[in-house]
Structure 1
Amino acid sequence: MKVGNIVIKGRVDLDPSSSINNLILNDGVKISKRCSIFGSEKNILEIGENSYIGMNTIINGFNAKVIIGNNVSIAQSVNIMSDSGPNASPEMQVFFPIETGPVKIGDHCWLGANSIIMPNVTLGDFCVVAANSFVSCSFESHSVVGGNPAKLIRKLK
């Protein structure tokens, strides 16, 4: 387990197989097995109170700010990224520039298994992301979204 530059505000449950750094963890956060969750010294990643991170999840907040709200449920194998692109190939970046931007997940959201949240996405409070969805744009509070790319399925009432 790699751990560094972490502020813990209350009691947290962290599986020792996970790697975390440059984070603020609020009271009641639970991080399952084999997660990789990191910000940078410039972009401290924040996870709100009573949020749950499922096993094998990756949350990359290195190049832009990532904020996970309170009471957020993140299922297994979710990928949340603040940057995406062919970072090892400057020549390929001519065709596919690296996309960088903040990610904000509102309070009481539920992200289904294997979902991917891309840079520059904001999910309002009480959003649901269906399993296996690719989210590349923002959605308002109370949205249920799914698909590849994710589209609005319905609104919660």
Structure 2
Amino acid sequence: MRLLDRLITRALRGPLDALVAQKVTEQVAQQVEELKLDALYSYRWHGDRSRLHIPDTAVVNNALFNVSGGEITIGEYAFFGHDVAVLTGTHDIEKFGRERQLAFPRSGRDVVIGDGVWLASHVLVLGPVTIGEHAVVAGGSLVREDVEPYTVVAGRPAKVIKKITPPGA
């Protein structure tokens, strides 16, 4: 290597290394932010994943689905706020210790969430239950009973607040 090449390389090494380090840091920061955003739009499940039915048109955010006691079926264009839990599982309160942990029904506690249903943030749904099409469940509500289509419910437990007029009615 010629003397001039060595001098140029030595002169540029510091600024070039700093520029590369800055770009790498920016890319890593962007990837971390994308992962955080992705976590907001991913859900978790407990039990057999094949018992959870979510169409591509549904928006589910960071929900938790427990399918240990039945199937969960979500309709087209349903959407969820953050931190929604839909649970089919329950335990036998008459059992104790390890037996209580293991004593739960394996079926019969299905949850059906109809087309266009909106479950706002922090909703808890306990199966077996059906939430009819285009119903709205207000934030923080506890759903333990069926919800009729085109109905708004709120509270713990959820109670009917109003009816929604279906299109064309």
On whether the aligned pair clears a TM of 0.5, the verdict is yes
Instruction: Decide which structure has greater strand share.
Output: 1
**Alignment-derived partner of residue 155 in structure 1:** 163
1:77 aligns with 2:83: yes
Contact conserved, 1:49 with 1:69, CA < 8 A, in 2? no
**Alignment-derived partner of residue 101 in structure 1:** 109
**Alignment-derived partner of residue 53 in structure 1:** 60
Instruction: Decide which structure has greater helix share.
Output: 2
Contact conserved, 2:111 with 2:129, CA < 8 A, in 1? yes
Q: How does 1:23-42 map to 2 (within 5 A)?
A: 32-33=41-42, 35-40=43-48
Q: How many residues align?
A: 125
CA gap of 1:62–1:98, structure 2 versus 1, over 3 A, is: closer
Taking structure 2 as the reference length, the TM-score comes to 0.64
- Distance in 1, matches of 2:59 and 2:153, equals 20
Which secondary structure does the structure 2 equivalent of 1:37 belong to? Answer: strand
Which secondary structure does the structure 1 equivalent of 2:83 belong to? Answer: coil
Higher Cα Rg: structure 1 or 2? 2
Taking structure 1 as the reference length, the TM-score comes to 0.68
Contact conserved, 2:67 with 2:87, CA < 8 A, in 1? yes
Runs of 4+ in 1 over 4 A off after TM superposition: 15-18, 97-100
Instruction: Give % identity.
Output: 24
- Distance in 1, matches of 2:90 and 2:38, equals 25
TM-superposition CA deviations, 1:114-139 (whole Å, max 9, x none): 00000111001001000000000001
Q: Flag structure 1 segments of 5+ consecutive residues without an equivalent.
A: 1-14, 19-30
- Distance in 2, matches of 1:149 and 1:83, equals 18
Q: Flag structure 2 segments of 5+ consecutive residues without an equivalent.
A: 1-35
Contact conserved, 1:83 with 1:98, CA < 8 A, in 2? yes
Q: Aligned-pair RMSD on alpha carbons?
A: 2.9
Contact conserved, 2:48 with 2:68, CA < 8 A, in 1? yes
CA gap of 1:16–1:85, structure 2 versus 1, over 3 A, is: farther
